């Protein structure tokens, strides 16, 4: 579930390389075009929230991987988060049990907590973990992954700030001291694959985070430096940052930054138990990967601009 997304495509690629086959449900088949050419990959048009189709989707599988998640919801009452992060988990557990699937691998988030999470996002992620643990029973084994913010060539984190820095001489930054330990998408995918046939990963939770911790301001300044840009990062006081988040959430279309995002950043997205190491993996530093894909994006942008001007 969630196989056509940023992390899902990475996991699918590694699964195919390791000789596995994969069945990937999606409501938008056109988004899975690059996966259709991979051997052993079956794309099924389906709505994973439809409880009646889930047993058929998971039937015959040795394991189910759930990557479904949202960072923002259409409303503001938490119901969208609960549908994606809790209700779907409950439906998946039931489907796995009905179809005899022995293992469910589930994507959560660092600092997910059903009781004390400061945001709908973190509370719903924690509630999803709790539902999985409470409902799994003795025959369904589970493995939970809690990543920090994930970076990679198609991420929505580094690339979003890079786009803003390219066009803005200064950047107002809410929560500049928020802490992150960014983890490479390839390492996240490797963790899922490593846990597939590893019985020691059964009924365990793995924190996935990178080798370095940064404040949000340090990350933004590093992106600007990598792009060769001189930009002013303006630290927005917390009293104004909340107002900024409210405006971007309720007034300005697109939900670039919401009140729920603002609340999530109140807790550090850092870990204390190295899940990658426990699975025999080594975390990839952000500085080894980010410059490469930001530079490639710049080359593509310049080439597109050249082609546009040449066609005049």
For residues 178-207, give the mean pLDDT: 96
Q: Is residue 62 part of a domain?
A: yes
| Residue 90 lies in domain | 6-151+182-211+270-284
The pTM of this model reads: 0.92
**SS3 assignment, position 209:** coil
CB 145 within 8 A of CB 208: yes
Q: Which pLDDT score, from 0 to 100, does residue 298 have?
A: 56
Confirm whether 22 is domain-assigned.
yes
Q: Is a pLDDT exceeding 90 seen at residue 262?
A: yes
- 66 sits in which H/E element: strand 64-66
Q: Report if residue 76 sits inside a domain.
A: yes
**In the predicted model, is pLDDT for residue 111 greater than 70?**
yes
Burial of 190 (0-12, 13-18, 19+ CB in 10 A): buried
Please indicate, yes or no, if residue 124 is contained in any of the structural domains. yes
Using alpha carbons only, how large is the chain's radius of gyration in Å? Answer: 20
Q: Which two tokens stand for residue 152?
A: 């990679």
Q: Is 11 helix (H, G, I), strand (E, B) or coil?
A: helix
Residue-wise pLDDT for 24-58, tens only, equals 999 888 778 788 888 999 999 999 999 999 999 99
Whether 227 maps to a domain, the answer reads no
Cα separation, 135 vs 112, in Å, equals: 18
Give pLDDT, residue 75: 87
Domain presence at residue 107: yes
Q: What is the pLDDT of residues 46-95, one digit of tens each?
A: 999 999 999 999 999 999 999 999 999 998 999 999 999 999 999 999 99
What CATH number corresponds to the domain at position 83? 3.40.50.720
Count of domains observed in the chain: 1
Q: Is the pLDDT of residue 130 over 50?
A: yes
Residue in this structure with the two tokens 């579930």, named with its chain if needed: 1
Identify whether 122 is part of a domain.
yes
What is the reported pLDDT for 254? 81
Instruction: Supply the pLDDT for residue 305.
Output: 47
Mean pLDDT of 139-168: 95
Whats the size of the chain, residue-wise? 312
What letter would DSSP give residue 83?
A: I
Instruction: List the Cα angle 129/130/134 in 5-degree steps.
Output: 120
Residue 121 within any structural domain of the chain:
yes
CA 309, distance to chain mean position in Å, is 37
pLDDT (average), residues 252-265:
91
């Amino acid at each position: 579930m969630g196989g056509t997304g940023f992390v899902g495509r990475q996991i699918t690629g590694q699964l195919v390389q390791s000789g596995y086959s994969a069945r990937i449900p999606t409501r938008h088949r056109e988004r899975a075009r690059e996966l259709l050419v991979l051997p052993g990959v079956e794309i099924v048009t389906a709505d994973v929230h439809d409880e009646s189709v889930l047993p058929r989707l998971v039937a015959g599988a040795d394991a189910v991987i759930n990557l479904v998640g949202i960072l923002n919801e259409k409303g503001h009452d938490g119901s969208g988060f609960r549908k994606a992060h809790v209700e779907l988990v409950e439906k998946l557990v039931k489907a796995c049990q009905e179809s005899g699937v022995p293992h469910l691998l589930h994507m959560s988030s660092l600092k997910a907590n059903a009781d004390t999470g400061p945001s709908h996002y973190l509370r719903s992620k924690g509630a999803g973990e709790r539902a999985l643990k409470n409902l799994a029973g003795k025959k369904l084994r589970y493995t939970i992954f809690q990543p920090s913010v994930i970076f990679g060539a198609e991420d929505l984190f580094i690339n979003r700030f890079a786009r803003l820095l390219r066009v803005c001489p200064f950047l107002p930054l809410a929560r500049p001291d928020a802490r992150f330990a960014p983890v490479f998408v390839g390492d996240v995918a490797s963790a899922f694959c490593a846990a597939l046939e590893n019985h020691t990963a059964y009924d365990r939770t793995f924190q996935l985070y990178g080798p370095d911790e940064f404040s949000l301001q340090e990350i933004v300044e590093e992106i600007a430096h990598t792009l060769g840009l001189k930009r002013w990062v303006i630290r927005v006081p917390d009293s104004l940052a909340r107002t900024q988040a409210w405006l971007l959430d309720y007034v300005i279309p697109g939900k670039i930054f919401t009140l729920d995002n603002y609340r999530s950043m109140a807790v550090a997205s850092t870990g204390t138990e190295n899940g990658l190491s426990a699975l025999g993996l080594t975390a990839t530093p952000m500085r080894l990967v980010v410059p490469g894909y930001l530079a490639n994006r710049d080359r593509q942008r310049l080439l597109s601009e050249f082609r546009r001007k040449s066609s005049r």
